[in-house]
Structure 1
Amino acid sequence: MFSIYGMTGQVFSGSLEAMNRVHPLLQARRARGVSRDGDEIGAESVATPLAQEAVSAYRKMLPADLERGPLFHAAQIMSRPVAVVEHMSSVVDAWHLLQERQIHQAPVLDEARRLIGLVTERDLLTVIDLEGERVLENLKRRVSDVMTSPVVAAAPVTDIRRIADVMIQSGLSAVPILNEGERIVGIVSRTDILRAVMTDPPLSLWR
């Protein structure tokens, strides 16, 4: 289940298919599916006999006590607690927060603590000038001036693959995770998805 939040509050809630019909995610198409380009290893390659044999051999080598269930939902991989910024915060304060927490983006909240956007390092760098880690000059902007809004959010039980699809279609680097009360309980970034694939053995993602 996905929702879209903007300055006026929630503007959509429903499935990925419905969201694509009502609010096409055309913000950016910088990312692409690996399987779309020529000789790279795509999803179809995993189904080859050689690949299946390799996966089978890998599984046989795993100690029995390491086996666990597959990863399906955002709640299983999301980062928490979540660092957030207020929409009226200065871009310099937001930059320092991202650097201190060693993160690349943060959800943006209004005065009522409701999600209204997402701000990234890239957004902030459009209005500040750096020398190393020191801010030399900035355009005195607020976070609300540079953030992405509206922003897509997801429920904790949302399929990880669908969140990845949203990231690819929209160019978003992360998707905030909201509970039934529309409060932020986590965030799933590209790093979270890659970490689940690369550093969470045994690999049983979406099996």
Structure 2
Amino acid sequence: MFSIYGMTGQVFSGTLEAMNRVYPLARARNTRGVAQEGDEIGVENMATPLQREAVRAYRRMLPDDLERGPLIHAAQIMSHPVTVLNQKNAVADAWRVFQRCGIHQAPVLDDAHRLIGMVNERDLLTVIDIDGEHVLENLQRRVSDVMTSPVVASVPVTDIRRIAAAMLEGGLSAVPIVNESEIIVGIVSRTDVLRAVMTDPPLSLWR
């Protein structure tokens, strides 16, 4: 189950298929999506006929009854607790939080602690210059000025294949995980999905 949250609150709740049909995902600003990172394995994106034939040959040799692997839920791989930012935080302060916590993106909340967006390192670097840990130039911008909104979120029991599909469709680098009270309980990044594939070999995202 997926939800979309914007400045006015939740604007959608439903399945991945319904979300794509009713509220098509726009690729997040300044991010290179999972689909783009993996374009080289798609037959239609191969540069030469030889490369395309190589992928077709690989697919033909896959067994028809390829084991898709165990069902893994977001709750099993998500990172938690989650570092969050307030929309009114100064961009310079947000950058310092990223550096201190070793994170690359964070959910953004409003004053009522509702999820309204996501911000990543690239967003912050559009309005600041840095030298090591020091901010050299600060345009006095707030997180709300550079964050991506609306934001796609999911529930803890969502199959990570569905989350990976949402990342592919929307060019998302991470998906916040919210409970039934719409409180953020974790976050699943592309790194979390890839780590799950690496540590649990039977899991297949190919098909």
Residues in 1 aligned to 2:75 and 2:128: alpha-carbon distance in whole angstroms: 34
CA pair 134-44 structure 1, distance change in 2 beyond 3 A = farther
Q: 1:129 to 1:87 in 2, by over 3 A?
A: same
Cα deviation, residue 169, structure 1: 1.7
Structure 2 unaligned regions, length at least 5: none
Deviations 1:95-140 (A, max 9, x none): 1111111111000011111100000001000000011232101110
Q: How far apart, in 1, do the equivalents of 2:56 and 2:16 lie?
A: 21
For 1:118, the aligned partner's letter is M
Structure 1 gap ranges (5+): 57-68
Preserved contact between residue 3 and residue 12 of structure 2 (Cα < 8 Å): yes
TM-score, normalised relative to structure 2: 0.82
After alignment, is 160-169 or 9-18 more displaced? Answer: 160-169
Could you tell me how far apart the structure 1 residues matched to 2:77 and 2:115 are?
Answer: 21
Aligned positions of 1:3-82 closer than 5 A: 3-28=3-28, 30-31=32-33, 32=35, 33=39, 34-36=41-43, 37-38=45-46, 39=51, 45=58, 48=61, 70-82=70-82
1:34-183 alignment, distance < 5 Å: 34-36=41-43, 37-38=45-46, 39=51, 45=58, 48=61, 70-183=70-183
Q: What is the CA–CA distance in structure 2 between the aligned matches of 1:42 and 1:164, rounded to whole Å?
A: 21
Identify which range, 36-45 or 181-190, moves more after superposition: 36-45
**In 2, are the aligned partners of 1:72 and 1:206 still within 8 Å (CA)?**
no
CA contact (8 A) 1:109 1:115 kept: yes
Structure 1 position 206, deviation (Å): 4.9
- Amino acid of the structure 2 residue aligned with 1:131: D
Distance 1:168 1:44, change over 3 A: farther
For these two proteins, the number of residue pairs brought into alignment is 190
Alignment RMSD: 2.6
